[in-house]
């Protein structure tokens, strides 16, 4: 924690403690924030009061604890709108599935949710819940909605939980939450003034008006990279094939379907300081796309579909020329001899860095939330540990910022 010592001096943190067993860790969070120089004011949700007492929170935070939306005393001293805006950041820790759902729906049914809705300050959420609740489609959709509105998240982490289950859902460690708060209130913007171009998702190649050839890319890694570059201050153009993902906050998204459209959108977005090609581009398109739906006649053999080579976007962006970005980064999705294939690909395509990843079915990389990559550059190979796709993106964005500085 020495790297962020006193990084919160003079900052006001408003901490909302929701009702989960991890609420006891919020007491430690209050102390660690004070160690960093922050003033902490707290609000307990109705359910939060079942896990920690207003007395304990008040004693630790050395101030009033807000719990009641209709407290005449609190409202006469400071209205809830003012209360929601006088801090530098609102932190919800722990954030339960329930409060995430209320936040996503814009419900203001108690003081905590009213403050979140009324604030004009950044909001950071540290979720903690049972693994099944976290992985439930409803929670994941709420998280995506909140992220697309610019709400920052820290965690949850994998681990053993109070309910004797194992998996994602554990509250992030207190030092990680402090670090995330520091990141939000003192954002580093080393990429301010830079333009980043990112490709993401699959491309889709039509056969006829109803059929197409596509691939398994979810776009999660590319979208995470776009968000990470924007978080460091870059202006980001994200050229994306069809995905089920929400647009990352603060990023300009250009939607395309085919590889040819992706190339045209990338060329239209130049000049850029950096290009990251994370899309899984179809290598071939259909040579003659049928204008009408192909019909089958009983007894006919299956049709043969002639393919034609698609443009290589990464190679095109890497080619020397006045608009070549200073740094071009590709991915190498491989299923065997990963590093050797990736090195050859870097040389063949002319990009500066390539992130090699194993996408064979057993790794669960395609569509999954984690990725294990090896960064290959002119100076060598750096295998990274298995990380969440967000963590891979953050690490790459930091390296890009360093390279462009
Ligand atoms: N790429 C691209 N345009 C293409 C094909 C790939 O921009 N037409 C980019 C991808 O975005 C990725 C890199 O090239 O950054 C490597 O993609 P990959 O699918 O691993 O390699 P391919 O070039 O398709 O080679 P192969 O299929 O032989 O592995």
Spell out the per-residue pLDDT of the chain, length 405, in tens: 444 458 899 999 999 999 989 999 999 999 999 999 999 999 999 999 999 999 999 999 999 999 887 776 666 666 777 778 889 999 999 999 999 999 999 999 999 999 999 999 999 999 999 999 999 999 999 999 999 899 999 999 887 766 677 778 999 999 999 999 998 998 889 999 999 999 999 999 999 999 999 998 999 999 999 999 998 999 999 999 999 998 888 899 999 999 999 999 999 999 999 999 999 999 999 999 999 999 988 888 988 999 999 999 999 999 999 999 999 999 998 989 999 999 999 999 999 999 999 887 777 777 778 888 999 999 999 999 988 898 899 999 999 999 999
Q: For domain 2-185, is the CATH number 3.40.50.1950?
A: yes
User: In the structure encoding, which two tokens stand for residue 33, read together?
Assistant: 């924030």
Domain with CATH 3.40.50.1950 in the chain: 2-185
In whole angstroms, give the CA distance from residue 348 to residue 315: 8
Residues 365 and 355 sit within 8 Å (Cβ to Cβ): no
276 CB within 6 A, ligand 1: no
Q: How many CB atoms lie within 10 A of CB 18?
A: 31
Please report the atom of ligand 1 found closest to the CA of residue 278.
11
From the CA of 91, how far away is ligand 1's center (Å)?
41
From the CA of 280, how far away is ligand 1's center (Å)?
7
Residues 107 and 145 sit within 8 Å (Cβ to Cβ): no
Residues 98 and 18 sit within 8 Å (Cβ to Cβ): yes
Give the SS3 label for residue 211. coil
Give the SS3 label for residue 208. coil
Q: What is the CATH number of domain 195-404?
A: 3.40.50.10300
The distance of Cα 239 from the centroid of its chain, to the nearest Å, equals: 16
| Nearest residue by C-alpha to atom 24 in ligand 1 | 283
What's the pLDDT score for residue 77? 67
In whole angstroms, give the CA distance from residue 275 to residue 239: 11
What's the pLDDT score for residue 382? 95
Residues 119 and 84 sit within 8 Å (Cβ to Cβ): yes
From the CA of 232, how far away is ligand 1's center (Å)?
27
What's the pLDDT score for residue 127? 97
Tell me the CA end-to-end span of the chain in Å, nearest whole number. 25
Is the Cα torsion angle 120, 122, 126, 131 positive or negative in sign? positive
353 CB within 6 A, ligand 1: no
Domain with CATH 3.40.50.10300 in the chain: 195-404
In whole angstroms, give the CA distance from residue 162 to residue 168: 12
What element of type H or E holds 198? strand 195-200
In whole angstroms, give the CA distance from residue 31 to residue 51: 18
317 CB within 6 A, ligand 1: no
- The CB-side HSE value for 220 (13 A sphere, CA atoms) comes to 16
Q: What length is written for the chain?
A: 405
In whole angstroms, give the CA distance from residue 91 to residue 343: 44
Q: How many CB atoms lie within 10 A of CB 135?
A: 14
Buried b (16+ CB within 10 A) or exposed e, 310-328: bbbbbbbbbeeeeebbebb
What's the pLDDT score for residue 2? 45
HEC string of 51-101 equals CCCHHHHHHHHCCCEECCCCCHHHHHHCCHHHHHHCCCEEEEEEECHHHHH
pTM: 0.77
314 CB within 6 A, ligand 1: yes
Strands 123-127 and 235-240: unpaired
Collect all residues with Cβ–Cβ distance below 8 Å to 317 and sequence separation of at least 6: 197, 266, 275, 277, 324, 325, 328, 351
219 CB within 6 A, ligand 1: no
Collect all residues with Cβ–Cβ distance below 8 Å to 76 and sequence separation of at least 6: none
Q: How many CB atoms lie within 10 A of CB 268?
A: 10
Judged on CB neighbours under 10 Å (0-12, 13-18, 19+), 17 is buried
From the CA of 315, how far away is ligand 1's center (Å)?
9
In whole angstroms, give the CA distance from residue 111 to residue 125: 17
User: In the structure encoding, which two tokens stand for residue 16, read together?
Assistant: 């909302």
Q: Which residues are catalytic?
A: 163
In whole angstroms, give the CA distance from residue 98 to residue 90: 17
Alpha helices in 186-279 (DSSP H): 220-231, 259-269
């Amino acid at each position: 924690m020495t790297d962020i010592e006193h990084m919160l001096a003079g900052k006001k943190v408003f901490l909302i403690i929701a009702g989960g067993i991890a609420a006891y860790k919020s007491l430690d969070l209050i102390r660690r924030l004070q160690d960093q120089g922050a003033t902490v004011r707290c609000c307990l949700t109705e359910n939060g009061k079942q896990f920690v007492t207003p007395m304990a929170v008040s004693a630790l935070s050395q101030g009033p604890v807000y719990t009641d939306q209709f407290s005449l005393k609190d409202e006469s001293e400071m209205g809830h709108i003012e209360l929601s805006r006088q801090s530098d950041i609102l932190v919800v820790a722990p954030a339960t599935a329930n409060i995430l759902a209320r936040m996503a729906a814009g419900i203001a049914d108690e003081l905590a949710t009213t403050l979140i809705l009324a604030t004009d300050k950044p909001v950071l959420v540290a979720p903690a819940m049972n693994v099944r609740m976290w992985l439930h489609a409803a929670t994941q959709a709420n998280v995506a909605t909140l992220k697309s509105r610019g709400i920052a998240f820290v965690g949850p982490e994998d681990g053993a939980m109070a309910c004797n289950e194992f998996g994602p859902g554990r509250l992030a460690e207190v030092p990680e939450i402090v670090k995330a708060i520091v990141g939000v209130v003192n954002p580093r913007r080393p990429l301010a003034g830079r333009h980043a171009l990112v490709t993401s998702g699959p491309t889709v190649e039509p056969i006829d008006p109803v059929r197409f050839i596509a691939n398994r890319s979810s776009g999660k890694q590319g979208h995470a990279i776009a968000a990470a570059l924007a978080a460091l201050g870059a202006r980001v153009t994200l050229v994306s094939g069809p995905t089920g993902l929400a647009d990352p906050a603060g990023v300009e998204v250009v939607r395309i379907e085919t590889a040819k459209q992706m190339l045209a959108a990338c060329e239209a977005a130049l000049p850029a300081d950096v290009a990251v090609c994370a899309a899984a581009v179809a290598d071939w398109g259909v040579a003659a796309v049928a204008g009408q739906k192909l019909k089958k006649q009983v007894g006919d053999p299956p049709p043969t579909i002639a393919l034609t080579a698609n443009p290589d976007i990464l190679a095109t962006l890497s080619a020397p020329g006045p608009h070549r970005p200073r740094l071009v980064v590709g991915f190498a999705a491989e299923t065997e001899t990963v590093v050797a294939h990736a090195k050859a690909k870097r040389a063949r395509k002319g990009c500066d860095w390539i992130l090699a990843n194993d996408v064979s079915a057993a790794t669960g990389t395609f569509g999954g939330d984690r990725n294990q990559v090896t960064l290959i550059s002119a100076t060598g190979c750096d295998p990274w540990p298995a990380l969440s796709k967000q963590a891979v993106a953050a690490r790459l964005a930091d390296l890009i910022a360093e390279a462009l500085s």
